[in-house]
Amino acid sequence: MGNTPRNLFDKVWEAHRVRELPSGQTQLFIGTHLVHEVTSPQAFAMLRERDLPVRFPNRTFATVDHIIPTDSQVRPLSDELAEAMMTELERNCRDHDIHLFDVASGHQGIVHVIGPEQGITLPGSTIACGDSHTSTHGAFGAIAFGIGTSQVRDVLATQCLAMARLKVRRIETTGKLNPGVYAKDVTLAIIRQLGVNGGVGYAYEYAGPVIDAMSLEERMTVCNMSIEGGARCGYVNPDETTYDYLRGRPYAPQGDAFERAVDWWRSMASEPGAHYDDVVEIDGSAVAPTVTWGINPGQNLGVDEKIPTLHETPDDERASVAEALDYMDLRAGQPILGIPIDVAFIGSCTNGRISDLREAARVARHGQVQPGVRALVVPGSQEVARQAEAEGLDEVFRAHGFQWREPGCSMCLAMNPDKLQGREVCASSSNRNFKGRQGSPSGRTLLMSPAMVAAAAIHGKVVDVREIL
């Protein structure tokens, strides 16, 4: 290694490399393990079967987010299956001495919202969670990725994973975002450019002036959707924005330790001249407010563009485009502007943070939710909810026809009662427009920024938020 400049991924990998395994993979130490109710019960059951303890309970944190209702969170939950999952998580955390951020704690929320806000997510660390949007935590300069339940078991039992090293692709942004264009639009534009499986085998390093200028919350939105581009993790090098965000957070180092931590975090950032397996550029100035029209997040358009025709679609994508047009009941060549919506959803680990709610409220002030449109605002955590309420955002939303709900994953994946019905079309600030994703097997999703969702809610159709702001 010597003085060869290295990127953050390589440094973090080396610092967490326990040993090389007989399989040729690396045994990688996982600094922080985040746990939620849906992907963990079977893992805990496997530990019990094998009579294994949790190796580092103090490096393991749990919360409840996927199944929690957003209307009433009073126990027992009215959905018996949800209550059973909740009870199981409580039992597992109690038995293994794992800290649980439950509803009563006042710090419950979506796992990828509370890790950062508690200061649990730190630069230079490795983080795993049984959830693909764990890539969110990369915004701090952590290497964070989603795992399956058997790997949750591995991390509980050993605090390690068996992994092959990823390649690193630097995504170099240039230019500057125009007003009305958000981190969500940037991440959708990247996925459109590189494809939904373009990132397989890679970690994405997001860099350049557009990323540098973003707040930590905006960087989380970008890193969150790395997985939608096929990349298991995505990160941003830590900088002053990162340190400012972390200072004073409950689980972050305090006092002198914080200053020592900053020195170490700084030392983990990619160095000039570091090697990358690939480098791509994206021009931030060219990004428009973006909306998905199809059934994967790569099928997206600038709001002033038209849905592609099969004629202009490359051969190997025609079948997908035809399938998407059919499912979405849209016409090739149709403008995305003006598509009517039935539901508006603001929330999720992608866009359920305070800055998202502020932007959505700023737009909501310009009108009333259209009659016939159901509009939900679901804060990402209890802390986000409290902050929003302190700023009066809940009142703004209510006064303009939006429902103000309790925190959780809600209609992003509809494991709670918040679901689309039938063929409803939802303008959604979440991350996936897959068939059936929002709870109705035939429901339709248009992904966009929270500001664009709010604009769609008050117009009852897809509009260009730049004309409102």
Partner 1 sequence: MTATRASVESVSGRACVLRGDDIDTDRIIPARFMKVVTFDSVGEHLFEDDRLAAKGNHALDDDRYEGASILVVDKNFGCGSSREHAPQSLMRFGFNGFIGESFAEIFAGNCTALGLVCATLGEDDLENLMGSVDLDPEQEVRIDVEARTVTSRVGTVACQIPDGTRRQLLEGSWDATGMLLDGAEDVTKTAEALPYVSGF
Q: Is 278 helix (H, G, I), strand (E, B) or coil?
A: strand
Q: Alpha helices, DSSP H only, in 290-353?
A: 318-328, 348-351
Q: Name the token pair of 214.
A: 């973003």
**Amino acid residing at 83:** E
Mark 325-364 with x for binding to partner 1 (rule: CB under 8 A) and - for no binding.
----------------------------------------
Subset of 52-71 contacting partner 1 (CB under 8 A): 52, 55-56, 59, 66-67
Number of residues that bind partner 1 (CB under 8 A): 85
Containing H/E element for 300?
Answer: strand 300-302
Q: Which residue lies nearer to partner 1 by CB, 103 or 373? A: 103
Mark 214-253 with x for binding to partner 1 (rule: CB under 8 A) and - for no binding.
-------------xx-x-x--------------------x
Stretch that binds partner 1, among 12-20, 100-108, 335-343, 369-377 (CB under 8 A): 12-20
Separation CA 397–CA 309 (nearest Å): 38
- Cβ at position 244, least distance to partner 1 in Å: 18
Separation CA 381–CA 112 (nearest Å): 10
Of 6, 31, 214, 336, the one binding partner 1 (CB under 8 A) is 31
Adjacency order of strands within the sheet including 17-20: 17-20, 26-29, 160-163
Stretch that binds partner 1, among 83-91, 273-281, 348-356, 458-466 (CB under 8 A): 83-91
Produce one character per residue of 55-86: b if its CB has 16 or more CB atoms within 10 Å, e if not.
bbbebbbbbbbbbbbbeebeeebebeebeebb
Residue 9: name the closest of 95, 156, 135 by CA: 135
Backbone region of residue 177 per phi and psi (left: phi > 0; alpha: psi in -120 to 50; beta: other values): beta
Stretch that binds partner 1, among 139-147, 344-352, 379-387, 448-456 (CB under 8 A): 139-147
Q: Which residue lies nearer to partner 1 by CB, 201 or 208? A: 201
Stretch that binds partner 1, among 18-26, 182-190, 339-347, 376-384 (CB under 8 A): 18-26
- Cβ at position 207, least distance to partner 1 in Å: 22
Stretch that binds partner 1, among 15-23, 93-101, 109-117, 302-310 (CB under 8 A): 15-23
Of 106, 148, 250, 392, the one binding partner 1 (CB under 8 A) is 148
* 313 part of the interface to partner 1, by CB under 8 A: no
Q: Give the Å distances, CA to CA, from 467 to 40, 335, 360, 451, 456.
A: 45, 17, 14, 12, 12
Q: Which residue lies nearer to partner 1 by CB, 229 or 289? A: 229
Q: Among all chains, which residue has been given the structure tokens 């991924």?
A: 9
Angle, CA of 430, 431 and 434, to the nearest 5°? 110
The full length of the chain comes to: 469
- Cβ at position 315, least distance to partner 1 in Å: 11
* 323 part of the interface to partner 1, by CB under 8 A: yes
* 22 part of the interface to partner 1, by CB under 8 A: yes
Q: Are 323 and 462 in contact (CB under 8 A)?
A: no
Mark 432-451 with x for binding to partner 1 (rule: CB under 8 A) and - for no binding.
x-xxxx-x-xx---------
Q: Are 276 and 172 in contact (CB under 8 A)?
A: no
* 82 part of the interface to partner 1, by CB under 8 A: yes
- Residue 115 CB-half CA count within 13 A: 34
Give the number of other CB atoms < 10 A from CB of residue 366: 14
Q: Which residue lies nearer to partner 1 by CB, 72 or 150? A: 150
* 39 part of the interface to partner 1, by CB under 8 A: yes
* 314 part of the interface to partner 1, by CB under 8 A: no
Of 113, 114, 139, 147, the one binding partner 1 (CB under 8 A) is 147
Subset of 393-412 contacting partner 1 (CB under 8 A): none
Q: Name the token pair of 325.
A: 């047009």
* 322 part of the interface to partner 1, by CB under 8 A: no
Angle, CA of 466, 468 and 469, to the nearest 5°? 70
- The residues that bridge with 162 in the sheet, in sequence order, are 27
Of 54, 62, 103, 160, the one binding partner 1 (CB under 8 A) is 160
Of 193, 215, 313, 320, the one binding partner 1 (CB under 8 A) is 320
Q: Are 368 and 338 in contact (CB under 8 A)?
A: no
* 375 part of the interface to partner 1, by CB under 8 A: no
- Cβ at position 35, least distance to partner 1 in Å: 13
Stretch that binds partner 1, among 31-39, 70-78, 217-225, 335-343 (CB under 8 A): 31-39
Separation CA 264–CA 238 (nearest Å): 11
- Cβ at position 266, least distance to partner 1 in Å: 12
Give the number of other CB atoms < 10 A from CB of residue 292: 24
* 21 part of the interface to partner 1, by CB under 8 A: yes
Subset of 254-293 contacting partner 1 (CB under 8 A): 257-258, 260-261, 264
Q: Are 155 and 177 in contact (CB under 8 A)?
A: no
Q: Which residue lies nearer to partner 1 by CB, 191 or 427? A: 191
